[in-house]
Every structure is written in C-alpha cells, then in structure tokens.
Amino acid sequence: MSAVLYDVPGPRARARNMILNVVVVVVLLAAVAWIVYRLNDTGQFQSRRWAQFQYKSIQEQLLTGLLNTLKAAGLAAVLAFLFAAVFAAARISDHKWVRVPATFVVELFRAIPVLILMFFFYYGNLQFHLGLGPFWAVVFGLTLYNGSVLAEIFRAGISAVPKGQREAAYATGLRKNQVVRLILLPQAIRAMLPAIVSQLVVLLKDTALGFIITYNELLYVAKQMGGRLEFGFPYIPTYMVVAVVYIGLCSLLSILARYLEGRTRRSRKIAPGTDVPPAAPLSDGFSREGNAFPDLGGKDSN
Amino acid sequence: MLSVLTDNWELFRDGFWTTIKLFVVSGLLSLVLGTVLAGFRVSPVPALRAIGTGYVNILRNTPLTLVFAFLVFGAPKMGIELPSYFWSAIVALTVYTSAFVCEVVRSGINTVSPGQSEAARAVGMTFLQVLGIVVLPQAFRAIQPPLMSVMIALLKNTTIAAGFSVLEAGAIPAAIAERGENQMLTLVWITIGFLILIIPLVFLQRWAERRTAVAA
C-alpha cells in the first residue's frame, strides 16, 4: 500500500534514493559507533562487569527471576481469561441489572493504571495483614486490568459475527445460551485470536511493574545484580541481558499474533465450494476492503 | 474519608500536576517522533524503512519499566546524564509511546484512498509533499480514536515514573505512607483523580469515533 505514495523510481530517483540510503546507513553506523564508544569509554565491556554471569548462584538467581515473571504472567493470564469470560457474558446479558454493573466494573478497571491496581493489593495487604505477598498483588492487578480488556475483546468479537449467523441459530430453535456458546463464540474467538495474543504481550510486559512493588521478578533481580559494588555496578551489562530475554519472549508472542492474523485473513480466500464459514471481519475500523458479500470467498484478489 | 485528601492536599495537587506535565510533554513529543517514524516506515529509502520497523518491533516488545530502569540506572553509567528524573521519565515515556503512535499513524496512512496519493503524484508532488499535504492530514482524521487510546495508555503509564523517583500521582501512596494515613483511602482518591483525567479523553474519543463513523 505504501508504494502508492511514490512513483516507480526512474534513474534519477534511484540515484537519489541510493545516496539517501548511504547517508542514512552512515548516520546510523555513526550513532552505533558513538554508543559503543561511550560504553567502551566507561568500561562497560570490561570483563569484571560481566564476570558475575559466570557464577552458578547468580545464573540461578536470574533463572528464578525469569520463572517468577513467567509464573505471575501465566497465572494472571488464566485468571484474566476467567474474569473476561464471566464479564463478557454479563455484558451481553439480556438483563439490565446484570449488564449495567458488569459494564461499570469493566470500564472502571480499564481506566485505572495497572500500577495503582497493584498498589491496592500491595498496601491492602500491609494494612489489613492479609498474608498476600507482592506476587499476588502483581497477579491480581494484572488479572483485573487484562481481564477487563479481554472482556471487551470477547464482546467485540461476538458482536462482529455476521448477524445472519445469530438469526439462523435462533431460527433453528436454539436458546440464547446455545447460540452464544455453539455459534457465536467459536467464530468470535477465531477472529479475535490475534487481539487476544497481543493482549498477552501486554500482560507479560506489565509483570515488570512487579519491580516497583518489590516482587522478585526478572527486572528486580537485574536491579540487585546491577547494584553490586564488587563488580563495578554492572547495570548496563545486566540490563542488556534482561532486555534480550524480555524482547525475545514478547517478540515470540507478537510473531504468533501476526501469524494468526495472517491465517484468519487467508482463510477468507478459501476456494469457492468448500462450505467453511468466512471469518468475521476484524472490527479495527481500518479494514477498508470490507467484503459486502463475505460468502463469495475466493474472489478477493489481494 | 475526605480528610485524607484535605490534610494532604498539597501532595495530591503537586502529584497530579506532575502527572499532567509528564502526560502533555511526552504526549506531544511522542506524536512528533511517532509521525516521523511512520514517515520512515513508508518512505522510498530502504534504510529508513528498516530503522522504523526495527524501532517499532523492539520498543513495542520491551516493558516500559525496563526502559525507565535503563535510563535511570544504566544511562548514567555510560556517561549519559539527563538533567533530572523528570526528564528521564519524559524520555522513557516518549521513546516507548512513539512506537505505538507510529503504528497507529501508519495504519491511518493505509486508510487513505490510493486515488488521493495517485492524484497528488500526477500533479507532480514529491514524496514529502504527498505525505505531508495530502495523505497525513486525511490519515489524522481517521486515526483520532485509536490515537486517543494510545494517549490514554500514556496517561496511565506515567504512574510508572513513581518507581523512579518522580513525585507524580503514582508516588503519592509511598509519600503518604510515612504520615500514617489510611492507604486504601489514598488509593481511592488517586483512582478518582485518574478518572477525572481520563473521562474527558474517553468522551473526546467517542465524539471523534462518531464523527468519523458518519464520514465513512
């Protein structure tokens, strides 16, 4: 699409782009060189600053931090799904007395910063002696926020399923429960899977907030490692290592989300004749090629 | 209930004022940086496209807390000192948010009908003119709602600065803890403060959504 913004380059434009390209690469290399120079100049590559990664106890400490991060993310993800399932169901309820409070709860938790949600459990624990450590503050904070966002994703997915599906299901005599469970949800989850996985990236990233409320996760461990005088305060080496871990984990999830998105888009182009229902269009507001006749799958050219 | 707020009024006032300053300054900066990055991502120069893509992919997959920690604890160790923790927070929030702004702007560029840029090219405009005069103004109209979501996320993310010695709204509980006040009530007031800040943004977003929905 972006190729529409400029013409196919002729000889002069090609030469100009080539020059620009070289200039940009030179500037980029200069910036990288400057950073490396600064790192080297301040002794960040000295072996004493990297030495602690060789110690087994410190490797174990890092691993514990990583496991704690994954533990909090995993548990929060499961709880958030449960929360989302309940509140999404409540939000599409026919009863006003169920729908209104659920809407209120979901909107409220989406508006409060996650860190403040964690503070509620963290300080609540200190004040009322509930015996819940920072781990639970992280998990509950993440659950409430991501659960609310997921509830909205579920709801949007269900309402994006073409109306005919619902009408046909009611026409065959299914009850509302069955319509939602058997007809709408399977199609909605397929359409919403990329958004759900993207939300898991957010959840995983937000576990790093545990650092602020003294939960012993990866970033917290990194701070302790960086603060060691005997290794010359190796903040930069440890943050480099930790950044690689975080970016690696999140990138894997992001790639999965993109792959799923590509798959849902492709499945719309199944050869005519196979009676697989077309996936609902993503309601991101941007899909301009909104197919007026989704049943005519296979006619898409792009 | 009310005494927690009135007795510590100056703390709440200063805290939320810092939050607003963080939000406005880093919001404007990330709008600029994000738009420039989006321009990089659709430009005819491959190296610029690579920079844009690399930046977005790395920053979107990094926890904001890590960006903060690197700037506050790491950067001074390599001789990069920012004037204050406040400015470290501004840089961290800007660097992180502009990756999200970039993605929103880029998707907005894709919504502009190809005929528009074809017509602009036909009258002899250069890439920068096509983008700046014809495509971006139309793109910005379409992306107001998602852009507002990014800004709301930014407003909430300013609380992370509390963990890095910036006295904004998120730091109020820690500051008040020493005074022996009821922490739960403090948090309730902070929540109310954030709701007061966010609700106008949400209404602005709904309004923009309705306006664009009619146009489409």
Tens digits of per-residue pLDDT, B67-80? 999 999 888 888 78
Query: Could you tell me if A126 lies within 8 Å of chain B, comparing CB atoms?
Result: yes
Tens digits of per-residue pLDDT, A128-144? 888 888 999 999 999 99
CA dihedral A177, A180, A181, A187 (to 10 degrees): 170
Q: What is the pLDDT of residue A284?
A: 41
Residue pair A72/A210 in contact by the 8 Å Cβ criterion: yes
Residue of B49, B66, B112 to mutate for A, most A C-beta atoms under 10 A: B66
B173 contacts in chain A (CB < 8 Å) = 119, 123
Q: At residue A277, does pLDDT exceed 60?
A: no
Return contacts of B145-150, CB within 8 angstroms, 24+ apart.
Answer: B145/A285, B145/B205, B145/B208, B145/B209, B145/B212, B146/A285, B146/B104, B146/B107, B147/B101, B147/B104, B147/B105, B148/B201, B148/B202, B148/B204, B148/B205, B148/B208, B149/B205, B150/B97, B150/B100, B150/B101, B150/B104
Residue pair A88/A155 in contact by the 8 Å Cβ criterion: yes
A12 contacts in chain B (CB < 8 Å) = none
Which pTM was predicted?
Answer: 0.85
Which value does ipTM take for this structure?
A: 0.88
Among chain A residues, the shortest Cα distance to B136 is held by: A5
Tens digits of per-residue pLDDT, A169-228? 999 999 988 998 899 988 888 888 888 998 999 999 999 999 998 888 899 888 888 888
Residue pair B127/B120 in contact by the 8 Å Cβ criterion: no
Q: Could you read off the pLDDT tens digit of each residue along chain B, which spans 216 residues? A: 778 788 888 888 889 999 999 999 999 999 999 999 999 999 888 899 999 999 999 999 999 999 999 999 888 888 788 888 899 999 999 999 999 999 999 999 988 888 898 899 899 888 889 999 999 988 888 888 889 989 999 999 999 998 888 888 888 888 887 777 788 888 999 999 999 999 898 888 888 888 776 554
Are the beta carbons of A112 and B194 separated by less than 8 Å?
Answer: yes
Q: To the nearest whole number, what is the mean pLDDT of chain A? A: 83
Contacting residues for B60 by C-beta, under 8 A, at least 6 apart: A201, A250, A254, B99, B100, B103
- A100-124 mean pLDDT: 92
Are the beta carbons of A236 and B64 separated by less than 8 Å?
Answer: no
Query: Could you tell me if A124 lies within 8 Å of chain B, comparing CB atoms?
Result: yes
Among chain B residues, the shortest Cα distance to A224 is held by: B73
Are the beta carbons of B51 and A24 separated by less than 8 Å?
Answer: yes
